[in-house]
Amino acid sequence: MLIGVPKEIKNHEYRVGLVPFAVRELVHNGHKVVIETQAGSGIGVSDDDYRAAGAEILGDAKTVFEKAEMIVKVKEPQAVECEMLREGQLLFTYLHLAPDLPQTEGLLKSGCVAIAYETVTSPRGGLPLLAPMSEVAGRMGPQAGAHCLEKAQGGRGVLMGGVPGVAPAKVVVLGGGVSGTNAARIALGMGAEVTVLERNIARIAQLDDMFRGTGMKTLYSTVDAVEKSVQDADLVIGAVLVPGAAAPKLINREMLKSMPDGSVVVDIAIDQGGCLETSRPTTHADPTFVEEGVVHYCVANMPGAVARTSTFALNNATLPFAVALANKGYRGALAEDPHLRQGLNVAEGKITYKAVSEAHGLGYTAPEEALGISF
């Protein structure tokens, strides 16, 4: 199979779909890889590094899209990239389609076969291709929040860990999954007072065991618990996730009004539409805005700020699936692996993931029907 990797073009996105070790593995398996020139420059990987791994360097994205049978990216295709996709071409990347009707329509129009990293599952029920970036975003959440809490950034002027005789910041984490757990771990390490709200009783028990002795508190997440918890929070980190679906709006405007002026919310769930009524996507170039006196940090590609760490972590997770798709073709790979099949969101003009069809009120087609194969 001929695999193509274009340079990412989303605002301040420095990650890249494949790194040299992944290219070498694909070439070793008998495949050809073409890389857009300077695609890896944001993480310190040169065209010569790719050539040494066996890739061919091409001069522009258009040529990469024209040549490749499978496109491997990091972020969802931008409008100009959707226009370069073609019928039957395989796209393997993050999509986050539920809150993004224009992209969904663009992929449907292209006729491509789009597999989303974020909905591929594991035998244990996890999301193995989302987890590495959830870890990164979770760990970045308190870091970003601490910066936003500084007075010069519009915050309350509160130090996360406080100092002797002065209380630390109160941090509320909504969601105890991968992002929330990592956010809690870093916030605790910074010396903050941390409360995690979670709806899964079994997960609450796990968190209690995991953080025993740290002083972290857990609460069962209800409307009442969220409302009361955010009222005196210095920093709220939104880390809720419904796989492939739009994030639930846990904080409405009235709740936001109850928060102290200069408090901060970091909405990690913004890729899936955000978990606050007031959230809207921002960029690394202009990361924050203020609503009801509360600073909102809603950068939709947080891990892009630590691009080298993020890219290598992502490739560790995606490479086995990319090799399977290349070795077996997407029909063979999807027929054989039900967990990879969960990643299929769009196929040849049809939506094949229920949460996406429900989010947009568009028709759903089962993957086997869309691809004409039996599982």
Q: Which residues are catalytic?
A: 96, 271
Q: Look at residue 4 and give its three-state secondary structure.
A: strand
Work out the number of other CB atoms within 10 angstroms of the CB of residue 86.
12
Count Cα atoms within 13 angstroms, Cβ side, for 244: 23
Q: Which of 182, 181, 170, 180 is nearest to 139 (CA)?
A: 182
Q: Are 86 and 113 in contact (CB under 8 A)?
A: no
d(CA 30, CA 326): 9
Q: Do 235 and 209 form a contact (C-beta atoms < 8 A)? A: no
Token couple for 105: 């329509």
Order across the sheet with 264-267: list the strands: 217-220, 193-198, 170-174, 235-238, 264-267, 294-297, 288-291
Q: From the CB of residue 39, how many other CB atoms can be counted at a distance below 10 Å?
A: 26
* DSSP state string for 123-191: TTS--TTTHHHHHHHHHHHHHHHHHHTSGGGTS----TT-BTTBPPPEEEEE--SHHHHHHHHHHHHTT
**CB 269 within 8 Å of CB 291:** no
Q: Residue 116: phi, psi to the nearest 5?
A: -95, 125
Q: Which amino acid is at 182?
A: N
Residues β-bridged to residue 5:
35
**DSSP labels, 214-245:** TT-EEEE--HHHHHHHHTT-SEEEE----TTS
